[in-house]
Chains A and B, each alone.
Chain A
Amino acid sequence: MDSESHKTTAEKLVYMANQIATFFHSQPMDEAAAGVAEHINHFWEPRMRQQLFDILEQPDNGLDPLVLEAAKQIRKPGTVSA
């Protein structure tokens, strides 16, 4: 990969999660974290969610605080759906 637009998948996932958080930041506060979690549960394939959990374990992972807050409600891949 020869140019700066080509991020790794992990970098992209951080970027995407933060984009989702950015939208929900403007929504009423009580819905924001749940909104982020629901969005990721609805649209992210298990592999992507697993990678997100891996990223969450790293310090200074670059994730928006709202994503960190939402993480509790994001479904771990392989667990039974609600």
Chain B
Amino acid sequence: MSLVHEIDYGTPASLSEKMVTLTIDGNEVTVPEGTSLMRAAMEAGIQVPKLCATDMVDAFGSCRLCLIEIEGRNGTPASCTTPAMEGLVVHTQTKRLKDIRKGVMELYISDHPLDCLTCAANGDCELQDMAGAVGLRDVRYGYEGDNHVFTKADGIANDRWMPKDESNPYFTYDPAKCIVCSRCVRACEEVQGTFALTIEGRGFSSRVSPGMHENFLDSECVSCGACVQACPTATLTEKSVIQIGQPEHSKVTTCAYCGVGCSFKAEMRGEELVRMVPYKDGKANRGHSCVKGRFAYGYSTHKDRILNPMIREKITDPWREVSWDEAYKYVANEFRRLQYQYGRNSVGGITSSRCTNEETYLVQKLVRAGFGNNNVDTCARVCHSPTGYGLKTTFGTSAGTQDFDSVEHTDVVMVIGANPTDGHPVFASRLKKRLRKGAKLIVVDPRRIDLVRSPHVSAAQHLQLRPGTNVAVVTSLAHVVVTEGLFDEKFIRERCDWEEFQDWAAFVSSPEHSPEAIEELTGVNPQTLREAARLFATGGNGAIYYGLGVTEHSQGSTTVMAIANLAMATGNIGRKGVGVNPLRGQNNVQGSCDMGSFPHELPGYRHVSDESTRDIFDKLWGVKIQDEPGLRIPNMLDAAVDGTFKGIYIQGEDILQSDPDTKHVAAGLEAMECVVVHDLFLNETANYAHVFLPGSTFLEKDGTFTNAERRINRVRKVMSPLNGYADWEVTQNLAKAMGLNWNYTHPSQVMDEIAMTTPSFAGVSYELLEKEGSVQWPCNEKAPLGTPIMHIDGFARGKGKFIRTEYVATDERTGPRFPLLLTTGRILSQYNVGAQTRRTDNVMWHEEDRLEIHAHDAENRGIRDGDWVKISSRSGETTLRALITDRVSPGVVYTTFHHPTTQANVITTDFSDWATNCPEYKVTAVQVGASNGPSDWQVQYDEQARQSRRIKILDAAE
């Protein structure tokens, strides 16, 4: 094993298709036009000395180290800023160049501390490398620089010297080591797009500065780590490297946070993780990261992790640690007993969108083949199930149409009900990069998200609609497109059913769908809506990106279909730069859906009533799969309350915290006789569990995740599971205890079974993934290397289907008792229910959930910023602290749900999407008032949670 080596070409690749040939140091090189001489040289294997250049950012030409000579030209131009041209003859090493470089290095070193042996960058310092490369042997100017070397001069404090900034929990900024290459400043601008850094001062006393000489934590810095990655010295260094030292080997793996699915190098020393560094060849992230994937992995070794299986007869008992065998036997006996007593369909399972494809596949296999029913569901139920339904109905495939690279070709981006800078930060950075290059942005969101206005990005239109009116707004956009004749007739005639289109066009054209008619309902200015529609239809390549603000509504599926209609009507499907792109929440939510986690579908989205599909699995598994759909999560809970559903195996999901209407979830779980939770921590659901099976982290197992762009990425094991077993092994052992004859010895064999049974995965194997890095399904004979963009020559279902999308107001309405609308969302530093991120230093950015409320509504209620407030709905009430803001309109309040004590889901109701039962998280009628402290429910809940987490200490043997 060794470190995964990545070549730094110094400047970004040129996308030109025209090639030029030149000679560098006697080697003939052919490169795309626009390539820098530095990059051309590197491609020929010649490394020109450099300090300020790195291929993640544009050339800057400031360090004066990469100079070269060109025959027939005067001077010594910088190779990073000089483009390659046909016929050039370049020399990278001449007497003149050597002298200049040595002189430059002397100046750098003359005001740089020489504590190399104890420096954190020792072994990974480009300044040291360059000193070596140019043959620096002495510094004529001495070593006693004024600014960077001495904390004291002549016994008094040196006020030119600046101390370390250690405010960020994950990295330090040591101004003493700064060589002012500006790589960090440019990475923050060009890669991340936050513009948090600048250079302050002049000459030798100039240094990097977050904002106006602030410390990192207080500045606008979002801690994505791009600056740390770019820094050539120890100026910006991961605290983990300072503590542990340089890594000695690394493996490429996939982040286990959001649906972007960034590739990282897990850099190791033995089995200790030194740091996670984004991988440049990662096709989702292209070398970028966010604070979660880059730094927030500390939960994997957190003391709260439970490492031994535990059981208890009653949920009021303390936990009792048992052996794995005892735990498996207990579960198998209980489930068999329940099925004997209450019927075959009285038990079920929930697969995890945090786990690998292989693990998810095995859980649904356990349910279908072991339990003998289809009672399997997954957390996509509460996020993107409407995406699956809506896109399958209109296009024929339950997934997004593009890859993330596609955004580089987009001219108009419409973001609906998503907050990418917080929820999908690495995609947001790629989007912002495109917007800075001139693409236009339309935001449809009740809240003024950061994208609406942030440095060098501003939305052309922000449709600040009232929560719950998506269908009205998107249908009205279509109204404008159709009535103003902006639709793409050629595309529609070729790709869609023309008669269906005409029916739909007549529907959307009716006056009640006009922007003017819906204004009262949606609160959106009709002129703004018309301009947004015109821009989207006529502005070039139009792409729609959407999130849970679309799906988590009573009409979630209808909105997805309305989005698909709009994309088809404007001809924005089937090529680069366009498409319908769901931003999926969890790392493997796409994969868990693909793997047959839904109660009505076998792997590959094939309905259980389809005999030929059942036949494939019947033969392979030697069982008879039921031809009837099973229960969805909310239906399982209803059936539990009714007494017909008694046992559940939950892998890696915390339904008590993440699902709506907490009291109903709790009642359902309480009514069951055997709840098995398989997780890293004693999560909230585990308060109601009878068996706890310890889980493993993504660092501890092999497998694959499938991200929002259908990309199947490898997850690679870099350390042994602390709990002893990867999750797929635990499921397999449980299956064996239930009498199933499973003998997988590696997840690759599970993938082989998936490929054998599922046409869209037919070509996928670990061998292919090893070779290609990743592939996007469908990957089969027709597309041996996968499918970056779907529906190119026609829709998967044949003709694209236009569907009438009538707006129906949700029954969750405001009134005198509950006059405000609550909507929910996420924040950058925390993830979902926070089980992972709350167990990292990310809490420094967000230690509690706050209620965002408009000043107008706050004033009416006598609420000041930071006050404790009670928020109540017809479901329940909770308390949290207020944050007064103008991001939300009057009448709308907003909160996140990352902390269990907040209990935001005590308030959310049981309303759900008509087609999929996806809960309506995004609209709840509430009242807000002043409060003295936690609600009775919060106090009770806290006590109950504390009681139920007791683990019985066994008496020591005499």
Contacts and interface: CB of A to CB of B under 8 A. Distances in A.
Interface of A: 1-7, 9, 12, 16, 19-20, 22-23, 25-28, 39, 41-48, 77, 81
Contacts, number: 85
B639 A81 contact: no
Contacts of A44: 629
Contact of A45 (B628, B663, B805, B806): B628
Contact of A5 (B374, B910, B917): B910
Interface residues of B, number: 43
Contact of A77 (B558, B600, B628, B917): B628
19 contacts: A2-B663, A5-B873, A6-B663, A6-B910, A7-B910, A9-B641, A9-B642, A22-B808, A23-B558, A27-B803, A28-B503, A42-B629, A43-B915, A45-B375, A45-B631, A45-B632, A46-B628, A48-B631, A81-B628
B751 to A, nearest CB: 28
Given A6-B661, A20-B914, A41-B609, 9 more contacts: A3-B874, A5-B874, A7-B910, A9-B639, A12-B638, A23-B808, A23-B915, A42-B629, A48-B631
A23 B803 CA distance: 11
Contacts of A16: 912, 914, 917
A3 B915 contact: no
A1 B744 CA distance: 46
B875 interface: yes
Contacts of A12: 638, 910
B300 interface: no
B622 to A, nearest CB: 22
Interface of B: 345, 374-375, 503, 507, 554, 558, 599-600, 607, 609, 627-632, 635, 638-639, 641-642, 644, 661, 663-664, 667, 803-806, 808, 873-876, 909-910, 912, 914-917
A3 B935 CA distance: 15
Q: Which of B628, B641, B663, B876 has the most CB of A within 10 A?
A: B628
B638 to A, nearest CB: 4
Nearest to A75: B628
Given A19-B554, A23-B558, A47 B914 contact: no
Given A5-B909, A45-B599, A23 B503 contact: no
Nearest to A4: B874
B639 A47 contact: yes
A47 B766 CA distance: 41
Contact of A47 (B345, B507, B641, B875): B345
Nearest to A25: B806
A27 B393 CA distance: 14
A6 B554 CA distance: 17
Contacts of B909: 5
Contacts of B600: 42-43
B914 A19 contact: yes
Contacts of B874: 3-5
A12 B627 CA distance: 24
A10 B626 CA distance: 25
A81 B804 contact: no
A6 B915 contact: no
B638 A23 contact: no
Nearest to A49: B628
Given A6-B663, A6-B664, A81 B910 contact: no
Contacts of A25: 806
A7 B637 CA distance: 13
Contact of A3 (B345, B375, B627, B876): B876
A20 B630 contact: no
B629 A45 contact: yes
Contacts of B917: 16
A81 B558 CA distance: 28
A39 B599 CA distance: 14
A27 B801 CA distance: 13
A5 B638 contact: no
Q: A-B pairs with the 7 shortest C-beta distances? A: A26-B806, A19-B914, A5-B875, A9-B638, A45-B631, A5-B909, A26-B804
A45 B554 contact: no
Contacts of B554: 19
Nearest to A13: B638
